[in-house]
Copies of this chain bind each other. A is one copy, B any other.
Amino acid sequence: MGKALIIGAGGVGRVVAHKCAQNPDVFEEIIIASRTLSKCDELKKELDGGKTKVHTAQVDADKTEEVINLINRFRPDIVINVALPYQDLSIMEACLATKTDYVDTANYEPPEVPKFEYKWQWAYKEKFEKAGITALLGSGFDPGVTGVFTAYAQKHYFDEIHYIDILDANAGDHGYPFATNFNPEINIREITAPGSYWEGGKWIETKPLEIKRTFNFPEIGYMDIYLLHHEEIESLAKNIKNVKRIRFWMTFSQKYLTHLQVLQNVGMTSIEPIEFEGKMIQPLQFLKAVLPDPATLGPRTKGKTNIGCIFRGIKDGKPRNYYVYNVCDHQECYKEVGAQAVSYTAGVPAMIGAMMVLTGKWKKPGVFNVEEFDPDPFMDALNKNGLPWKEDFSPEIFN
């Protein structure tokens, strides 16, 4: 049916490529492109022999011209951007220049002012409309599936949704006392940044990790959850009428927080270089070198993730609660695509988002978040592509 250019060959890119290749009727050809060609070639080797034709290319996605050249060379129907969030705008510009549909999983943030906001990408709405192309923003799990869950709840179960709690649990255990999947700097920023939630039509800011609850996650059990700012709150607040409050919660173990706190206390997470034996060294860079290589975590991570949403609202004048969630197993993901659940849960929805656009189900000119489309075909595709969801009409409710 179509041709997709996947930009990014990290964990998420790997999942997207595998999942596209599992749907060769939709993805007849894929081009895997990243800064490091060898990673793309490695993926191609794994996928060659299937029905989907696989190409690879080297690209620096910071440079719009390079992306334009790549698009002109391969003429994809859609670009699946799973590179760095910093690169969203340069890739969107290339899509505009070549009139190519676009999908990503995380919203743009300027490298200097880390702030998760859609404003930079929403500003492209008119340009995409005029160009007659679709940009689908934030089609990962959260944001992404959480927005689809919301649209699904709105369509089938509620007249009005008043409260949304998004709950993201990772009970994965890599067996190390401490390791990070990704840049510890981002981990640290996450837990040291103020939290915020949407209530009564405005943002309410909290101190870092100020609000904590305990939640009994299906198939996992009790875990501590902390209120964080998260980008889908912004789009849901705009797109869900009559919503009174939207909160996002993420699990952190006490052990994880303690390790991060101590490393910060002693200065090991600082990016301020210190002089060491005549050389300037960033403590954070040295810490990264001491910590386990993130690439070694995948095969050894055991346990599950559980991401979902609890909705409370009104249907036919009566109060209603609804919890919809997906449970994903790290080891099973790794067996299937060579990446663990954190990458898997982001990569599968990126593929599905592209599938929605390619098949015309979610194809319309402009810049959109996932909750603005009919959720049914996406929900159906989740069940068929490794992220089945479950419903609970009397979930645990917390305030």
Q: Among B274, B277, B291, point to the contact of A266 (Cβ < 8 A).
A: B291
Q: Tell me which residues across on chain B come within 8 A of A265, comparing CB atoms.
A: 177-178, 259
Measured in the bound complex, the distance between the Cα atoms of B202 and A182 in whole Å is 52
Q: Tell me which residues across on chain B come within 8 A of A262, comparing CB atoms.
A: 177-178, 258-259, 262-263
Apart from A178-B262, A268-B287, A276-B286: 17 A-B pairs, beta carbons within 8 A: A177-B265, A177-B266, A178-B265, A258-B258, A258-B262, A259-B265, A259-B266, A263-B266, A266-B287, A266-B290, A266-B291, A270-B290, A276-B281, A276-B285, A281-B286, A283-B286, A283-B290
- Write the nearest CB–CB distance from A260 to chain B, whole angstroms: 9
Measured in the bound complex, the distance between the Cα atoms of B273 and A286 in whole Å is 12
A268-284 vs B, Cβ < 8 Å mask (1 yes, 0 no): 10100011110101010
A156-194 vs B, Cβ < 8 Å mask (1 yes, 0 no): 000000000000000000000110000000000000000
> Do the beta carbons of A274 and B289 come within 8 Å of each other?
yes
Q: Tell me which residues across on chain B come within 8 A of A276, comparing CB atoms.
A: 281, 285-286, 289
Q: Tell me which residues across on chain B come within 8 A of A258, comparing CB atoms.
A: 258, 262
Q: Tell me which residues across on chain B come within 8 A of A263, comparing CB atoms.
A: 262, 266
A85-104 vs B, Cβ < 8 Å mask (1 yes, 0 no): 00000000000000000000
Residue of B nearest to A264 (CB): B177
A17-38 vs B, Cβ < 8 Å mask (1 yes, 0 no): 0000000000000000000000
Q: Among B267, B270, B277, B291, point to the contact of A267 (Cβ < 8 A).
A: B291
Residue of B nearest to A279 (CB): B279
> Do the beta carbons of B290 and A274 come within 8 Å of each other?
yes
Q: Tell me which residues across on chain B come within 8 A of A286, comparing CB atoms.
A: 276, 281, 283, 286
The 9 closest A-B pairs by CB, nearest first: A177-B265, A262-B262, A267-B290, A276-B289, A259-B262, A178-B266, A283-B290, A178-B265, A286-B286
- A-B contacts, 24 of them at CB < 8 A, read A177-B262, A177-B266, A178-B265, A258-B262, A259-B265, A259-B266, A262-B263, A263-B266, A266-B287, A266-B290, A266-B291, A267-B290, A267-B291, A268-B268, A268-B287, A274-B289, A274-B290, A275-B289, A276-B285, A276-B289, A277-B279, A281-B286, A283-B286, A286-B286
- Write the nearest CB–CB distance from A274 to chain B, whole angstroms: 6
Q: Tell me which residues across on chain B come within 8 A of A285, comparing CB atoms.
A: 276
Q: Tell me which residues across on chain B come within 8 A of A289, comparing CB atoms.
A: 274-276
Which residues 289-318 of A sit at the B interface, judged by CB distance below 8 A? Answer: 289-291
Q: Tell me which residues across on chain B come within 8 A of A290, comparing CB atoms.
A: 266-268, 270, 274, 283
A124-151 vs B, Cβ < 8 Å mask (1 yes, 0 no): 0000000000000000000000000000
Interface residues of A (CB under 8 A from B): 177-178, 258-259, 262-263, 265-268, 270, 274-277, 279, 281, 283, 285-287, 289-291
Measured in the bound complex, the distance between the Cα atoms of B263 and A283 in whole Å is 13
Q: Tell me which residues across on chain B come within 8 A of A177, comparing CB atoms.
A: 262, 265-266
Measured in the bound complex, the distance between the Cα atoms of B177 and A285 in whole Å is 21
Residue of B nearest to A260 (CB): B262
- Write the nearest CB–CB distance from A313 to chain B, whole angstroms: 44
Measured in the bound complex, the distance between the Cα atoms of B283 and A283 in whole Å is 11
Measured in the bound complex, the distance between the Cα atoms of B264 and A178 in whole Å is 11
- Write the nearest CB–CB distance from A256 to chain B, whole angstroms: 11
- Write the nearest CB–CB distance from A296 to chain B, whole angstroms: 14
Q: Tell me which residues across on chain B come within 8 A of A178, comparing CB atoms.
A: 262, 265-266
- Write the nearest CB–CB distance from A178 to chain B, whole angstroms: 5
Measured in the bound complex, the distance between the Cα atoms of B286 and A274 in whole Å is 10
Q: Tell me which residues across on chain B come within 8 A of A259, comparing CB atoms.
A: 262, 265-266
- Write the nearest CB–CB distance from A192 to chain B, whole angstroms: 14
